[in-house]
């Protein structure tokens, strides 16, 4: 049986590994280090921006688990395991919470064991699939076994939408939301060049040159993904401004190129 390692391309940079490198992880290769260093030369705030994206995931996941009673999550574009992972956040609120993780990068698959260390009362699963094929996610045995569509679900699309280009982006998000019952939530972060257009434009160019074209969205476009849903306060804001804690104090808006929001499905 082929191992996920056979699919890992160590000659070109990959988004999950560049993210891991910049966040101080250890699961990346020389190409990712070189790409990450080039991006940081273009925009030295990149590590702050990436860290705050990750922290938004923590706060949004905690909010949904603790304050909205969400007990099952579908996490698209999970990334390499980095503590705390979503199931650790959710199971801290409720040990029996279920989390289904999805990523299309073989290196994430190779490290998925760390995502499967669920509490004994709860459950986690990993689906090796692409967001461009939502039916493969929704029809997977992992999703069917762990997610009860009679109860609300937290759909997390964090740090990935900038890799999902128009015109398919809206349809793909909708397709993932469609089967989820009313009272489910969408938590999403959306890349933008609104606050540091030149620097973020250069980083975007670098990603494109490394084979990872990206879409950056202004506030009206970012907000339109939540049309027809009930936005949780404070709405669509830069990620460090969404229900900030003490860690977010003093962060310069120009260091954050990501909108974030949480909304309830009606």
Ligand X SMILES: C[S@@+](CC[C@H](N)C(=O)[O-])C[C@H]1O[C@@H](n2cnc3c(N)ncnc32)[C@H](O)[C@@H]1O
**Rg of the chain's alpha carbons, rounded to an integer?**
17
Q: Helix (H) and strand (E) counts for the chain?
A: 10, 8
The C-alpha atoms of residue 243 and residue 223 are separated, in whole angstroms, by 17
Residues 111 and 28: beta-carbon distance below 8 Å: no
The residue among 33 and 151 lying less far from ligand X, judged by its C-beta, is: 33
The C-alpha atoms of residue 95 and residue 184 are separated, in whole angstroms, by 19
Q: How far is the CB of 173 from ligand X (least distance, A)?
A: 12
Name which of residues 58 to 77 contact ligand X (CB under 6 A): 77
Q: Kindly write out the interface string for residues 107-126 of this chain, putting x where it contacts ligand X by CB under 6 A and - elsewhere.
A: -x------------------
Q: How far is the CB of 129 from ligand X (least distance, A)?
A: 7
Q: How far is the CB of 85 from ligand X (least distance, A)?
A: 9
Which of 36, 79, 81, 154 is close enough to bind ligand X by CB under 6 A?
A: 79
Q: Does 19 bind ligand X (CB under 6 A)?
A: yes
Q: Does 39 bind ligand X (CB under 6 A)?
A: no
Q: Using the rule CB under 6 A, give the single segment among 11-19, 111-119, 202-210, 235-243 that binds ligand X.
A: 11-19
The residue among 53 and 118 lying less far from ligand X, judged by its C-beta, is: 53
Which of 70, 115, 138, 158 is close enough to bind ligand X by CB under 6 A?
A: 158
The C-alpha atoms of residue 120 and residue 260 are separated, in whole angstroms, by 32
H-run or E-run covering 142:
helix 141-146
Estimate the crossing angle of helix 46-62 against helix 86-93, to 10 degrees.
30
Which of 103, 169, 199, 206 is close enough to bind ligand X by CB under 6 A?
A: 103
Residues 264 and 232: beta-carbon distance below 8 Å: yes
SS3 label, residue 245: coil
Q: How far is the CB of 3 from ligand X (least distance, A)?
A: 18
Q: How far is the CB of 56 from ligand X (least distance, A)?
A: 8
Alpha carbon separation from 132 to 80, 103, 135, 173, 188 (Å, rounded): 20, 11, 9, 10, 16
Q: Does 99 bind ligand X (CB under 6 A)?
A: no
Q: How far is the CB of 78 from ligand X (least distance, A)?
A: 6
Site residues (vs ligand X, CB under 6 A): 15-16, 19, 53-54, 57, 77-79, 103-105, 108, 130-132, 158-160, 163
């Amino acid at each position: 049986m082929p191992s996920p390692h056979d699919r890992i391309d160590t000659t070109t940079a990959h988004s999950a590994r560049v993210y891991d490198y910049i966040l101080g992880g250890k699961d990346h290769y020389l190409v990712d280090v070189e790409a990450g260093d080039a991006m940081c030369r273009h925009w030295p705030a990149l590590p702050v921006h990436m860290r705050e994206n990750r922290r938004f995931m923590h706060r949004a996941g905690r909010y949904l688990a603790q304050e909205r009673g969400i007990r099952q999550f579908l996490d698209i574009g999970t990334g390499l395991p980095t503590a705390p992972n979503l199931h650790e956040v959710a199971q801290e609120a409720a040990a029996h919470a279920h989390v289904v993780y999805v990523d299309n990068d073989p290196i994430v698959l190779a490290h998925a064991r760390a995502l499967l260390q669920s509490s004994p009362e709860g459950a986690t699963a990993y689906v090796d699939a692409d967001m461009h094929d939502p039916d493969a996610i929704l029809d997977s045995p992992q999703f069917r076994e762990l997610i009860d569509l009679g109860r609300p679900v937290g759909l997390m699309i964090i740090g990935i939408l900038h890799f999902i280009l128009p015109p398919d982006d809206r349809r793909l998000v909708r397709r993932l939301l469609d089967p989820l019952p009313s009272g489910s939530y969408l938590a999403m972060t959306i890349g933008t060049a609104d606050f540091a257009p030149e620097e973020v434009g250069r980083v975007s160019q670098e990603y494109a040159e490394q084979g990872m074209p990206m879409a950056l969205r202004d506030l009206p476009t970012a907000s339109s993904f939540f049309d027809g849903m009930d936005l949780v306060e404070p709405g669509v804001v830069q990620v460090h401004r969404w229900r900030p804690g003490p860690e977010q104090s003093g962060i310069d808006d120009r260091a954050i190129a990501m909108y974030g929001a949480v909304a309830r499905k009606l």
